[in-house]
Amino acid sequence: MKIKFILISVLLTLNLCSCQNKEKKSGIDIRESGLPDIEKEWTNADLQKTFDVLQGLKKMDTFSLPRLKDEKTSDIFKKIMSSIPKVNPQDTLNLFDQFDNYGRLIRALPNLLGLYGGASESEHKFYSNEAIEILKRVLIDATNSSQLLFEHYLDGKEESKEALDRVKRHNGGAVKMFSGSLNMIDPSNKYRLEDKLEIANTASDNLKKIWKYLGAENRTELMDKVTYFSRESDSPEIREVLSKLAADLSKK
């Protein structure tokens, strides 16, 4: 009787695991879902159509989206990201083109995080790599845009109302990007620890670059966030990264 009970328990466990795995294996063929041709250059309309298609697919199957490291769909995820031009910090002759590139990324962010940010623990774990990849891109582009703004655009314009307004808007947005990205480290968010560590390192590398451009209020807000997660993160590696970052920033 005892053996029979053990066998039943094993079978139930195997069946449960099988069901859980099936939940994360989509039967949807993404390439037949109406996406634009990934071999051609996408317009803004193509990108929006892609977001609309993927939102529809996700309603049918939460785990049906393209993923960065999935051999069948990685090219689609990469196409989405590459269709939003990166900010090129070397292109000082076309500043407004680069500012526009950053604006396009910010406008795409609600769609990107709506798809990949995740509303549940299972989504956090399943789309962890993609969510962090998106946020890394945001932090890097925010930093490159800041460097172009402060080191090139403002040259000789520091006192103009237009320049001051642009600085205020830009810094306010950059603070939101860094603060929001650091929130992903919160223990209540169940992204993979290695991905959380990657966003902590990316935030650290880039925040040090733009720190001198931020006003006192912005600095205080971000320092409070860094200090909080240097204590409260569920990863000793992340706590170490952010503790060092807080120490470095306090010297600037």
**pLDDT > 80? residue 166:** yes
Q: How far apart are CA 158 and CA 174, in angstroms?
A: 19
Could you tell me where the beta strands, DSSP code E, fall in 183-250? none
Assess contact for 137 and 83: CB atoms under 8 A: no
pLDDT at 27: 61
pLDDT at 17: 40
Alpha carbon 127 to chain centroid, angstroms: 11
Residue 234 in tokens = 């569920």
Q: How far apart are CA 28 and CA 168, in angstroms?
A: 45
Query: What percent of the chain lies above the pLDDT cut of 90?
Result: 80
Residue 186 in tokens = 């919160």
Domain chopping of the chain, boundaries:
40-250
Summarize the confidence of residues 30-50 as an average pLDDT.
93
Q: How far apart are CA 166 and CA 162, in angstroms?
A: 6
Q: Which long-range contacts (CB under 8 A, 24 or more apart) does 14-23 make?
A: 23/63, 23/122
Summarize the confidence of residues 134-152 as an average pLDDT.
96
Residue 71: which residues within 8 A CB-CB, separation 6 or more?
Answer: none
Q: How far apart are CA 140 and CA 34, in angstroms?
A: 31
Residue 188 in tokens = 């209540």
**pLDDT > 90? residue 3:** no
pLDDT higher at 216 or 19: 216
Encode pLDDT of 45-73 as tens digits: 999 999 999 999 999 999 999 999 999 99
Q: How far apart are CA 66 and CA 58, in angstroms?
A: 10
**pLDDT > 90? residue 160:** no
CA 233, 237, 240, 246 torsion-angle sign:
negative
Q: What are the counts of helices (DSSP H) followed by strands (DSSP E) for the chain?
A: 10, 0
Task: List phi, psi (to 5°) of 181.
Answer: -65, -40
pLDDT band at 30 (very low <50, low <70, confident <90, very high): confident
Assess contact for 114 and 55: CB atoms under 8 A: yes
**pLDDT > 80? residue 95:** yes
pLDDT at 5: 38
pLDDT at 252: 80
pLDDT at 97: 97
pLDDT at 234: 93
pLDDT at 67: 97
**pLDDT > 70? residue 12:** no
Q: What value does the mean pLDDT of the chain take?
A: 89
Encode pLDDT of 173-199 as tens digits: 999 999 999 999 999 999 999 999 999
pLDDT at 26: 56
Residue 160 in tokens = 């103009």
Summarize the confidence of residues 21-39 as an average pLDDT.
73
Q: What is the pTM of this model?
A: 0.86
